[in-house]
Chain A
Amino acid sequence: MDASFLPAALAAHAPVLGVVVPLFMAAVLVAVPNGRFAWGVVLASTVFALFIAFELVAQTRLSGVVSYQLGGWAPPHGIEFRIDELNSVIVLLIGAMGVLSAIFALPSVADEISPGKRGLFYAAFLVCFSGLNGVALTGDAFNLFVFLEISSLGTYALVAMGHQNDRQALTASFNYLVMGTIGATFFVIGVGFLYMATGTLNMADIARIVVDMPGNRVVEIAFAFILVGVGLKAALFPLHLWLPSAYSFAPNFVTVFLATTATKVAFYVIIRFMFDVFDPQSAFVMMSLTWVVMPLAIAGMILASAQAIFQTDARRLLAYSSVAQVGYMMLGLGMGTAIGVSAGVLHLLNHALMKGALFMALGAFAYSYGVRRISDFRGLGQALPGVAAAFTIGALSLIGVPFTVGFVSKFYLVQAALANGWWWAVAAIVFSSVLAVFYVYRILVVMWVHPAPEGRERIRPVPLMILVPLWILVAANIYFGVHADFMVDLANAAAQAAINAEAGS
C-alpha cells in the first residue's frame, strides 16, 4: 500500500486531524447555522475523515503502531494518540459510515427536521462523529473518557431531535442520557482505580505495569467497573435497555449512523481494555471472559432475538436484533483467543454493513410512504421493489445466508467456537440464527406477500441520495460475502494487534 496516501504534511498529523477537523467544523456550524451549508460541511468533513482513515490504515499496515503526541509532551505524561491495526479499522468504519450516512442525510433530514434546526442538528452530528473518532484514536484512558462523553452528548441531542416526529424521542433520549452517563461514570471510576494502582493514564503504559500486578484487587475492581461502564455504552445484554427506544425514535439518519458506529466504538473500547490494557492471561480477566461475558453474550443472542420477534415497529425490531448481534461479537471476545477476537471484529464490521443497509431501507420507506410499523409495510414489495429488494438482501445477510457478509462472520465465529470445543456456543449461534429467520420473515412476508392497503398514497419517490448509499451498502454485503479476504484480513490484523500489543510492549 502507498504510504503517502495524503500529502506528507497532512499524513504526519493525520491522527489528530481526524478528530479536530470535524470538531472545528461543528463550531463553524454553530456560528453559521444554515441547513444546506451545514450539510455540505458535514459531507466534506466526513470525506476528509475517511481519507484520514485510509491514511491511518496504510500507515499501520506499514509500520505497526503510529504514535502522535499532543502538544509535544511525550507519553506517558502527555496525551498520546496511538493507532494500531485494531483502531485504524474502527476509524475506517466510522469514516465510511459517516460519508454514506451523510449522503443519506440530505433528503432524510430535510424530511424529518424543521429547517430552523438543521444547522445545529448537523453540528451535533459532527460533535458525535469527532467524538467517536477521538475514542477510537486516543491512547490515553482519561482522554478516551472525554471523547466518549463528547460523542455521547452529541448523540443525546441527535436522538432527542426525533421529537419532531414522535414526542417519545424525548423520553428515549433522556433514558439514554441517564444510562449513558451511568456508563461513563462507571468507566471513569474504573480509570480512577487504574490510575490509583498504576500511577499513569496512558493505556500502553498501564498495560506495561498491570502485567506485573496479578491478583491486585484494585486492578480487578477497575476492570469490573470499566467492563460494566463500556458494556452499557455497547448495549451488552442486559445493559441494553436504552438502545431499542433510542434507535426506534431517533431520526432515520441518526439511527443509521448510530447503529453502524456508536455501539461498535464502545465495543472497540471493550476489546482494547480486555486484551490490550488488562492482561487477558490473568486469571481474573480469563474468568470474567468465560463466566460473565460468554454467558451474557449467549443470553443476549437468544433473548434479544426472541424479543425482536414480537415487535410491531420495524426499527425497534432491528434494534433488538442489534442487541443480539452485540451478543455475537461479545461471544467472539469471550472465547479469549485470537481467532475469537478476529471473528468478533469481523462481525462488528459486517454487522455495520447489514444494519446500515437495513436501517437505510427503512428510512427510504419512511421517506416515501411515511410507514414505520411492520403492519403498514403491506405491498411495499410491489410499490418500491428496488428498496424492498435491498432490504431483503440486507435481511438475508442478517440471518447469515451464504454469499453474504452475515454468513462469513458467523462461519468464522463457529470456527472459533469449535476451536475452543464450545459446541454449545455453536448451538446458540444456530438457534439465534433461526430466531433471526423468524423476525426477518415477519417483515418480508408483510412486505412481499400481503397486498397493499386501499388508498395508500405515495408521498414522494425515493431520491438517488438515499438509493445510492443504500445500494453501496447492499453491494458491500454481497461483495464482501463472496470476497471475504479483505475484511477477514483487516479483522485478523486487528485481533493480532489487540492480543500482541500487550505481549510486545
Chain B
Amino acid sequence: MTMSPHVILRVVSKVLIPFIVVFGFYVHFHGEYSPGGGFQAGVILASAVILYALIFGVDAARRAVPPAVVRVGFALGAMLYAGVGFATLLLGGDFLDYDVLHPDLSHHTGQHMGIILIEIGVLVTVTCVMIAIFYAFAGRTPEISEEDW
C-alpha cells in the first residue's frame, strides 16, 4: 500500500477508538452515581463508529457495524426497556416498579437492577439510532474521493 495522504489520522484514530468506547462504557456505568447514563454514553459509543466511518469510509463502517444490526439494535433497546416494565408487571408490581425485581429491599437491589437494565436499553437504542442517522445522511452523497481531501 502506498503512503496514504492522511496516515496520521488513521493511526491516531485507530488508537483512539478503543478508548472512546471504554470512555462510553465508563460514562454509562458511572451514570448511576455521577452525571452520565445511557443517553450520553450512547452518543459517545456512536461517535466511535462515526469517527471510524469518517476516517476509513462509510463502507468500512457498514462492514464493521452492518445497518441491519443497527436497525435490530434500536428496536431491541426499546424492547429491553419496555421488557423490564413488563417483567415488573408480571412480578406483581406497577409498571417499572423496580422494587419487585429483587427481594432485598433494604439495599434497594431491585432499584439498581432495574436502572441498570433500562439504561442498557437506552444505551443500545441511542447508539444505534445515532449510527442509523449518520448512515442515512452519509448514504445520500457520494463519498469524498481521496484527491478532494
Contacts and interface: CB of A to CB of B under 8 A. Distances in A.
Interface string B96-113: 111100000000000000
Listed from nearest, the 7 A-B pairs whose CB atoms lie closest are A72-B97, A31-B75, A30-B75, A27-B78, A71-B96, A16-B95, A24-B82
Interface in A53-75: 68-72
A468 interface: no
A70 B74 contact: no
Interface string A1-36: 000000000000100100010011011111101000
Interface in B44-85: 71-72, 74-76, 78-79, 82-83, 85
B93 interface: yes
- Among B79, B83, B86, chain A packs the most CB atoms within 10 A around the CB of B79
B96 A28 contact: no
B103 to A, nearest CB: 15
A28 B105 CA distance: 33
A356 to B, nearest CB: 30
A31 B75 CA distance: 6
Given A20-B85, A24-B82, A27-B82, A70 B75 contact: no
B71 A30 contact: yes
A78 to B, nearest CB: 9
A197 B21 CA distance: 42
- Among A31, A70, A71, chain B packs the most CB atoms within 10 A around the CB of A71
B94 interface: yes
A275 B31 CA distance: 40
Contact of B79 (A31, A71, A72): A31
B117 interface: no
Interface of A: 13, 16, 20, 23-24, 26-31, 33, 68-72
Given A16-B95, A69-B94, 15 more contacts: A16-B85, A20-B95, A24-B79, A24-B82, A26-B78, A27-B75, A27-B76, A27-B78, A27-B82, A28-B79, A30-B71, A30-B72, A31-B76, A31-B79, A70-B96
B99 A72 contact: yes
Nearest to A13: B89
Interface residues of B, number: 19
Contacts of B71: 30-31, 33
Contacts of B89: 13
A31 B96 CA distance: 23
12 contacts: A13-B89, A13-B94, A23-B78, A24-B78, A24-B82, A27-B75, A27-B79, A27-B82, A28-B75, A71-B98, A72-B94, A72-B97
Contacts of A13: 89, 94-95
A482 B85 CA distance: 45
B94 A68 contact: yes
A23 B83 CA distance: 11
A15 to B, nearest CB: 9
B94 to A, nearest CB: 5
A46 to B, nearest CB: 18
B94 A70 contact: yes
A33 to B, nearest CB: 8
Nearest to B73: A31
A340 to B, nearest CB: 36
- Among B79, B94, B95, B98, chain A packs the most CB atoms within 10 A around the CB of B95
Contacts of A29: 75
A71 B95 contact: yes
A470 B65 CA distance: 46
Nearest to B78: A27
B78 A72 contact: no
Contacts of A24: 78-79, 82-83, 86
- Among B76, B78, B83, B93, chain A packs the most CB atoms within 10 A around the CB of B78
Nearest to B90: A9
A20 B89 CA distance: 12
A26 to B, nearest CB: 8
Nearest to B96: A71
A71 B82 contact: no
Contacts of B94: 13, 16, 68-72
A188 B72 CA distance: 32
Nearest to A15: B95
